[in-house]
Amino acid sequence: KGCKLVGCGSAVPTLEISNDELAKIVDTSDEWISLRTGIRKRRLLSGGENLTGLAVEAAGKALRMAKVEPDDVDLILMCTSTPDDLFGSAPQISKQLGCRTNPLAYDITAACSGFMLGLISAACHIRGGGFHNVLVIGADAVSRYVDWTDRGTCILFGDAAGAVLIQSCNSEEDGLFGFDLHSDGDGQRHLNAAIKENEANSAVDTNGCVLDFPPRQSSYSCIQMNGKEVFRFAVRSVPPSIESALEKAGLSISNIDWLLLHQANQRIIDAVASRLEVPSERVISNLANYGNTNAASIPLALDEAVQSGKVKAGQTIAASGFGAGLTWGSAIFRW
Ligand code: ACO
């Protein structure tokens, strides 16, 4: 059985923050951020906005492009590491989209690789599980876990959502040609937002006796990152992953119309493209306007490239995500 991408959409918050505005809260400059990362501005959730709302907006656009009704969706995969509800937000997205048939809906947590994991999971559900219309959403609000006093990390991230609709088809129409996925827990020390176990304010019972088992109040720490190690990991791991996905697809890099990488840093994108000998005109990049939007970055950049007419129907894309976990993975697909 085949599967193909038939719709895409994206959504970003209204509040836009430029590098100059960030330079008012940490010791940095537009020049430093632009030169080291390629980022000029980013969008951040504010006011009454939430991540579920962004995800619903992106998913709704993908459904309209695909001309598929919410009731015909039978699986929703919400790829996020920063959900509105720690217990999972995909069922809420289903409800807000108006899917009256209650499709299976669950979250996938794999940081910046989340969307790639979602895409491959969707294909496996279609090929092995009998699903027909699968919404894959990549959405994150990393601003929730950024230390706004740390100039090494707060300049990098933005909030956004992107979505694609994957549909079952016959094998001749199959549009997902090959993939390659990895993880390495050893690298977690280079990039994480780990749990903090704090003792609760009250460690005494109602009689004032000290409890044997003081209750805990947990929270997550802000993002801890060794930027140089993450940079090295990405440049070292992504090219072989794309080559492996290409090999499984029986293709070579010259068969690829577009290289679409997780939008973390323009220097990472340039280094990977250079190693793969892909000219810059065939590389999709929009991180100047949005920063690193974690699991949203690949579907957001795809949607912009499709809407602008850059990516055309029938073209082949090599996409790769990489990030915390560590996790990384690539897929070769037809738009
Ligand atoms: N403004 C000005 N100066 C800064 C800033 C800033 N925002 N941040 C760091 N500096 C300073 C440092 O303090 C250091 O100063 P020093 O030389 O006096 O000690 C100097 O600039 C160099 O710092 P480095 O950390 O060595 O800078 P580097 O060139 O490595 O760039 C960066 C840092 C941009 C974070 C880079 O390492 C990077 O992009 N790494 C990849 C990070 C990434 O992509 N993370 C997310 C991917 S995974 C995911 O998406 C969850």
pLDDT digits (tens, 9 = 90+) for 165-179: 999 999 999 999 999
- The radius of gyration computed from the CA coordinates of the chain, to the nearest angstrom, equals 20
The residues that are catalytic are: 112, 262, 292
Note whether 288 and 300 are within 8 A (CB).
no
Note whether 89 and 51 are within 8 A (CB).
yes
- Tell me the one-letter amino acid at 136: V
The residue whose CA has the least distance to atom 36 of ligand 1 is: 227
Average pLDDT (58-64) is 98
| Average pLDDT of the chain to the nearest whole number | 96
pLDDT digits (tens, 9 = 90+) for 260-307: 999 999 999 999 999 999 999 999 999 999 999 999 999 999 999 999
Ligand 1 centroid, distance to 320 Cα (angstroms): 22
Strand spans (E) along 12-58: 15-18, 41-44
Average pLDDT (320-333) is 97
pLDDT of 199 > 80? The answer is: no
Average pLDDT (27-52) is 98
Average pLDDT (205-214) is 81
Ligand 1: residues within 6 Å at CB? Answer: 28, 32-33, 36-37, 111-112, 151-152, 155-156, 191, 225, 227-228, 230-231, 264-265, 292, 294, 323-324
Instruction: Provide the phi-psi class of 98: left if phi over 0, else alpha when psi is between -120 and 50, else beta.
Output: left
pLDDT reported for residue 212 = 76
Average pLDDT (53-70) is 98
Ligand 1 centroid, distance to 19 Cα (angstroms): 14
Q: Which atom of ligand 1 is nearest to the CA of 155?
A: 7
| 16-51 b/e (C-beta count within 10 Å ≥ 16 → b) | ebebeebbeeeebebeebeeebbbbbbbbbeeebbb
The residue whose CA has the least distance to atom 7 of ligand 1 is: 151
pLDDT reported for residue 181 = 97
The residue whose CA has the least distance to atom 3 of ligand 1 is: 28
Q: Which two tokens stand for residue 305?
A: 């490239």
Which residues lie closer than 8 Å to 170 by C-beta, 6 or more apart?
1, 2
pLDDT reported for residue 207 = 87
- How far apart CA 283 and CA 275 sit, in angstroms, is 13
Q: Which two tokens stand for residue 22?
A: 């960030």
- How far apart CA 14 and CA 215 sit, in angstroms, is 40
Q: Which atom of ligand 1 is nearest to the CA of 324?
A: 51
Which of 145, 261, 265 should be mutated for ligand 1, with most atoms under 8 A from CB? 265
pLDDT reported for residue 90 = 98
- How far apart CA 126 and CA 143 sit, in angstroms, is 34
User: H-type helices in 250-296, by residue range?
Assistant: 266-276, 287-290
pLDDT digits (tens, 9 = 90+) for 106-140: 999 999 999 999 999 999 999 998 999 999 999 99
* 3-class secondary structure, 260: strand
Ligand 1 centroid, distance to 66 Cα (angstroms): 40
The residue whose CA has the least distance to atom 22 of ligand 1 is: 152
